[in-house]
C-alpha cells in the first residue's frame, strides 16, 4: 500500500467508510495534500464503494476542490460587478505582476495560488481580496502588496 492509499485509508476509516461521508472525505484528502492528487479519487471510490463517476462528479462540482497543487497561500480576488466597478481589474493586474502568475496558477515556489471569483457577497466593501480565508475589503493597488507580503 503506497503512502496516498494509507492516508486515504485513515481518512475513510475516520468516517466508518460510510459512503454518505464522501464530501467530508474529499475535504480531508484535499486538506492533507492541498489538492486532490492523481489517483486519489480511484482510492476514495474503492474504499467507500461509490462509483468513480459519482466521486468525480462531486469533486468537479465544488470549486473548493483542486486537481492541481495549490500554493501554501491562496489569494482570491473578487471580479464581480461591484468590485469591477471599483477597480478589481487594476488589482488583478497588480497581483499578477507582484506574483508573476495569472489566475488559476501557482507560483514556482508553491507559495501563492491566485484565483478570481465572480462574487464573494461583500459588495459593500469591494473591491475585495481574500487571502487564506481572511477578507481584505476596500483593497487598493497600494495595499495589495502589504497584504500579499503578510502571506
Cβ proximity of 147 and 133 under 8 Å = no
Note the pLDDT of residue 149: 86
Note the pLDDT of residue 147: 94
- DSSP, res 125: G
Residues ≥6 apart with Cβ < 8 Å to 109: none
Per-residue confidence of the chain (151 residues) as pLDDT tens digits? 799 999 999 999 999 999 999 999 999 999 999 899 999 999 999 999 999 999 999 999 998 899 999 999 999 999 999 999 999 999 999 999 999 999 999 999 999 999 999 999 999 999 999 999 999 999 999 999 899 988 6
Note the pLDDT of residue 150: 80
**Surface-to-core class of residue 64, CB atoms within 10 Å of its CB (0-12 exposed, 13-18 middle, 19+ buried):** exposed
Note the pLDDT of residue 64: 84
Domains, the chain, in order of start with CATH, read 3-61 (no CATH), 73-149 (3.40.30.10)
* C-alpha pair distances (Å), 85 with each of 12, 33, 75, 89, 126: 45, 36, 20, 9, 9
Note the pLDDT of residue 30: 95
Note the pLDDT of residue 4: 92
- DSSP, res 106: B
Amino acid at each position: 500500500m503506497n503512502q496516498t492509499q494509507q492516508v486515504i485509508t485513515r481518512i475513510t476509516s475516520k468516517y466508518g467508510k460510510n459512503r454518505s461521508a464522501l464530501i467530508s472525505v474529499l475535504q480531508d484528502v484535499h486538506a492533507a495534500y492541498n489538492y486532490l492528487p492523481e489517483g486519489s479519487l480511484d482510492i476514495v471510490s474503492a474504499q467507500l464503494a461509490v462509483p468513480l463517476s459519482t466521486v468525480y462528479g462531486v469533486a468537479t462540482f465544488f470549486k473548493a476542490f483542486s486537481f492541481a497543487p495549490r500554493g501554501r497561500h491562496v489569494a482570491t480576488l473578487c471580479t464581480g460587478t461591484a468590485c469591477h466597478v471599483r477597480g478589481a481589474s487594476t488589482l488583478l493586474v497588480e497581483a499578477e505582476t507582484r506574483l508573476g502568475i495569472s489566475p488559476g496558477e501557482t507560483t514556482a515556489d508553491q507559495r501563492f495560488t491566485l484565483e478570481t471569483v465572480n462574487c464573494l457577497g461583500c459588495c459593500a466593501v469591494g473591491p475585495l481580496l481574500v487571502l487564506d480565508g481572511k477578507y481584505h475589503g476596500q483593497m487598493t493597488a497600494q495595499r495589495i502588496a502589504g497584504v500579499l507580503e503578510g502571506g
